[in-house]
Structure 1
Amino acid sequence: MKSVEEARATPSVPSEASAARPEIALLLSAVFLVYLAQMTLNPIIAPLSREVGLAEWQIGAMISIAAVMLVLTGQFWGRRSQSWGRKPVLVAAFMLATVTMSLFALLAWLGMVGAIAGIELFLLFVLLRGVGFGTAISAVLPTAQAYIADVTSDETTRVKGMAGVGAVQGISMIAGSVVGGVLSVFDILAPLIAVPVLLAGGLILVAVRLRREPRHRLVEKPARVSPLDARVWPFLLAGFGMFTALGFIQVLIGFIVQDRLGLGAETAGLLTGGALLLAGLGLIVAQAVVVPRSRWSPATLLRVGGAIALVGFALLIPDAGPAPLFTSILLIGFGLGIATPGFTAGPTLMVDRDEQGGLAGLTSATTGLTFVIAPTAGTALYGFGVAVPITVGTVIMAIVTVFVLAHPHFRGIPTPAQGPPPA
């Protein structure tokens, strides 16, 4: 590991950093397209499952397996992005995603016409949407995050770059929900056809426009980063706690809106869409406006964002009518939107360059792990009462908020120019 003095003595290379700026825009476009494709599919997953005769738990298992693949392959892809280069990794990821989702659309059609059904259909759904697409999508985020960490030379720029990744995810969440919902009005197969088209567009973009890094910029043997590494585990724990708290309520928003407001299915669907839109808008405003302009350190982002999200969680516990309900969802999205760049950028300031790919995969896997655990636990607790999973999420968020306020690791985080502290 470099000492502080060695890191300070390392000259910056403005020309390379300057040349990298357009590449950051292309990588953000790749992130947008892959998550737009994912979100376009989400609105029709539930009705599709009923059309092809699959149970709700089978769709849940398919999504959980995709999250498991994110956990298992995230660090692999992050490290390969440093040793192979970003372009080969993204080309491979988009190619795999395009092929698997094209086959998924064909499989869904075969299921709807009755050509394939039962356990065979379920296993093929898991193989294509769970294993195949899950493996492919797990490459994109670590690659973008590792690249941003590699080409940014100061804390403010790095935080801004990481916030950009979160912002395009928020935009894709809103856009995908709209595109999927609108296309499903024409035919349930329309979003299924649109998904591989969007992925093919991403494949063309990275294959044609993204430059390959010069060989001297690659890392021959990227280092693996342990989740127990003393430099990064506090950030990973904070991120795991934040997204676990979110996971306890995220899949329940539709149920909460319908049950608390006493709505029919159609009206509940409309207002649930509005609630998710508010959460997405809060996230976008936080990461596209507040984070870049505030110039706060990662620790400050975690503290401020965590406190705001905690207020949102607490406001959601009582059944106080529609205004507090929607306000709480907006605050949760806004607060987590501020805190997330602190979670993703903070640990990158603590590790060496050859560890950035492994770290990016680890942070992505940390988020993915929460989607394996929390949604199942949240839906199970909902059976005991609407407020039970919300209260559990609030308690977890409170613990995270206290942790980032009190733990000494969040004080005095070095800038990239200073390097990590001596071993």
Structure 2
Amino acid sequence: MSQTGDSLIDAPRPDRRGAFFLLFFSLMAIGAGNTMLIAAVLPPLTRELNLPDWMAASIFALSAFFWSTTSPIWGKRSNTWGRRPVAAMGLAAYGMSMTLLFVFGGLALNGVLQGSVLIFICLASSRSLFGIFSSGVNGAAQAYVADRTSKAERQSEIALITSGFSVGTVIGPAFAAALVATVGLLSPLAATAVIAFGMAAAVWFRLPEQRDPVSDATKFEDDMGGRGLWRSGPVLPFLIFAVCLSLVSGILTQVFVFSVMDKLHVEGRQAAQFTGPAFTVGALAVLMAQLVLIPRLKMKNKTLMWGGCLPLLAGAVLLIFAKDYASLILAQFFIGLGSGLARPGFSSGASLAVSPQLQGNVAGLVISANGMGFIITPFFGLFVYEYVNPHLPFIFCAGLLVFMTLFARFGLKDGVGEFIADDDESA
């Protein structure tokens, strides 16, 4: 089949919907595993092993570095190899990463693996496997959807597919809390590994791939204008916003876990009973934004971006003053609501800013930007929280969100990254 956008959009709707749901469940598996790791496994594990708090964030930071550097590569590879192989490979690598974390975590808890530096290296290397290879899953999924949707459909369909990750974050904390309480601290890692390997097989054998591979990737890049895409006028503003949002998300997510443990005076496995439900509330707010508010309100991408910053700002400010569990839960609700609005705004905006042939490229850039903030989260987040002032990370996020609101409201040109009806939108 030809690789032009129109022919892909014309794919049969039942077949397209089944493929979208398969990718939805793949992203759900990643979302569930990541939230279980962040909220219920790694922070309690590092404290039980007497590792400093910043080491937990550094494990995520190193993975985020590889995620950001490899996402554009896998986005381009999805143009040449196809979306299916890249997504399947990333899911398999995710399963392997969780398997190694389970093994090394168990060895450390049982005293076989000793020494904070050695434990850190083993855990960080295992998580980095996810960053290097699994960064292709999100980009391939987003590009797959963009290949098969018209401009008018893209915002809602990308919101739907990315909500799979949010559904996973709803299921993950509650599932992890139950597993940790009944089976053990590391049991969510083993469960996630099995699910990830299963989804990799399902994508490889069941996802229909209708895109013809491009034999000459270099010529394709030159002909389609893919080189230097990240700094092009229509795309760069969305990437700037995405980097800022990833920094805010990284700080609010990672510092929140330790803030809950310190404010509620809980440690280790008991912490999962509090952080899990809190993240579930936040994830439900994401779903409400992406599955209810966005389809009903039909706001412009620009409006979704600056409008999403407002509840995020409310959540960051609330975390500064929160003293009880109810306030922490409410803060997570605001954070989830804001993220659920803002992320589809810049993701679909960047997609609409480029041609159909460059959807893999721009998806890789967006996924890369989504991870960049997590690289420096240990410095702006947990290090400052632990050694300077526990309120300062949230104050920093509040200030950055004010900038992002003004940037999205007044810095984005009207019409950039928005659907404009034309003759080729008949699909």
Interval of TM-score (by shorter of Structure 1 and Structure 2): 0.7 to 0.9
TM-superposed CA distance for 1:287, in Å, is: 0.8
Partner of residue 399, structure 2: 395
- Pick from 371, 376, 381 the counterpart of residue 378 of structure 1: 381
- Pick from 233, 237, 258 the counterpart of residue 234 of structure 1: 237
Partner of residue 163, structure 1: 159
Partner of residue 282, structure 1: 285
| CA–CA distance in structure 1, aligned partners of residues 42 and 325 of structure 2 | 27
* 1:154 corresponds to 2:151: yes
TM-superposed CA distance for 1:269, in Å, is: 5.3
Partner of residue 3, structure 1: none
Say if 2:167 and 2:287, in contact at 8 Å, map to a contact too.
yes
| CA–CA distance in structure 2, aligned partners of residues 73 and 83 of structure 1 | 15
Query: Helix, strand or coil for the counterpart of 2:168?
Result: helix
Moved more, 343-352 or 263-272: 263-272
1:216 to 1:237, Cα distance in 2 relative to 1, 3 A: closer
TM-superposed CA distance for 1:413, in Å, is: 4.1
| CA–CA distance in structure 2, aligned partners of residues 193 and 320 of structure 1 | 34
| CA–CA distance in structure 2, aligned partners of residues 388 and 48 of structure 1 | 25
* 1:190 corresponds to 2:187: yes
Q: Supply the AA of the counterpart residue of 1:209.
A: R
1:275 to 1:181, Cα distance in 2 relative to 1, 3 A: closer
1:211-258 C-alpha deviation (Å, 9 max, x unpaired): 232427999535345432211111111222223233333222244445
Partner of residue 111, structure 1: 108
1:293-325 C-alpha deviation (Å, 9 max, x unpaired): 222221121132223333333444445766555
TM-superposed CA distance for 1:408, in Å, is: 4.5
| CA–CA distance in structure 2, aligned partners of residues 54 and 388 of structure 1 | 22
* 1:123 corresponds to 2:117: no
Say if 2:351 and 2:417, in contact at 8 Å, map to a contact too.
no
1:212 to 1:410, Cα distance in 2 relative to 1, 3 A: same
* 1:360 corresponds to 2:348: no
Query: Helix, strand or coil for the counterpart of 1:215?
Result: coil
Query: Helix, strand or coil for the counterpart of 1:213?
Result: coil
| CA–CA distance in structure 2, aligned partners of residues 385 and 148 of structure 1 | 43
| CA–CA distance in structure 1, aligned partners of residues 339 and 78 of structure 2 | 27
Say if 1:349 and 1:416, in contact at 8 Å, map to a contact too.
no
TM-score (norm 1): 0.86
Say if 1:44 and 1:181, in contact at 8 Å, map to a contact too.
no
* 1:72 corresponds to 2:69: yes
Partner of residue 45, structure 2: 48
Partner of residue 411, structure 2: 407
TM-superposed CA distance for 1:278, in Å, is: 2.0
Partner of residue 130, structure 2: 133
- Pick from 282, 299, 303 the counterpart of residue 300 of structure 1: 303
| CA–CA distance in structure 2, aligned partners of residues 107 and 255 of structure 1 | 22
1:185-334 correspondence to structure 2 within 5 Å: 185=181, 186-215=183-212, 220=217, 221-222=220-221, 223-257=226-260, 263-265=265-267, 270-318=273-321, 325-334=328-337
Partner of residue 4, structure 1: none
TM-superposed CA distance for 1:54, in Å, is: 4.8
1:269 to 1:188, Cα distance in 2 relative to 1, 3 A: closer
Q: Supply the AA of the counterpart residue of 1:313.
A: A
| CA–CA distance in structure 2, aligned partners of residues 322 and 47 of structure 1 | 18
TM-superposed CA distance for 1:17, in Å, is: 5.7
1:94 to 1:335, Cα distance in 2 relative to 1, 3 A: closer
| CA–CA distance in structure 2, aligned partners of residues 366 and 251 of structure 1 | 18
Partner of residue 16, structure 2: 20
Moved more, 103-112 or 343-352: 103-112
* 1:342 corresponds to 2:345: yes
TM-superposed CA distance for 1:37, in Å, is: 2.8
1:133 to 1:11, Cα distance in 2 relative to 1, 3 A: closer
TM-score (norm 2): 0.85
1:3-36 C-alpha deviation (Å, 9 max, x unpaired): xxxx9xx966663263433211111111112332
Say if 1:344 and 1:363, in contact at 8 Å, map to a contact too.
yes
TM-superposed CA distance for 1:147, in Å, is: 1.2
1:291 to 1:209, Cα distance in 2 relative to 1, 3 A: same
Moved more, 339-348 or 325-334: 325-334
Say if 2:234 and 2:417, in contact at 8 Å, map to a contact too.
no
1:268 to 1:29, Cα distance in 2 relative to 1, 3 A: closer
Say if 2:302 and 2:412, in contact at 8 Å, map to a contact too.
no
| CA–CA distance in structure 2, aligned partners of residues 308 and 197 of structure 1 | 36
Q: Percent identity?
A: 27
Moved more, 161-170 or 110-119: 110-119
Partner of residue 139, structure 2: 142
1:263-316 C-alpha deviation (Å, 9 max, x unpaired): 454876544433322211111110111112222221121132223333333444
| CA–CA distance in structure 2, aligned partners of residues 158 and 112 of structure 1 | 47
| CA–CA distance in structure 2, aligned partners of residues 274 and 337 of structure 1 | 18
1:178 to 1:419, Cα distance in 2 relative to 1, 3 A: farther
1:285 to 1:353, Cα distance in 2 relative to 1, 3 A: same
| CA–CA distance in structure 1, aligned partners of residues 112 and 331 of structure 2 | 46
| CA–CA distance in structure 2, aligned partners of residues 49 and 312 of structure 1 | 26
1:322-358 C-alpha deviation (Å, 9 max, x unpaired): 6555433312211221111001000111112232111
Say if 2:29 and 2:192, in contact at 8 Å, map to a contact too.
no
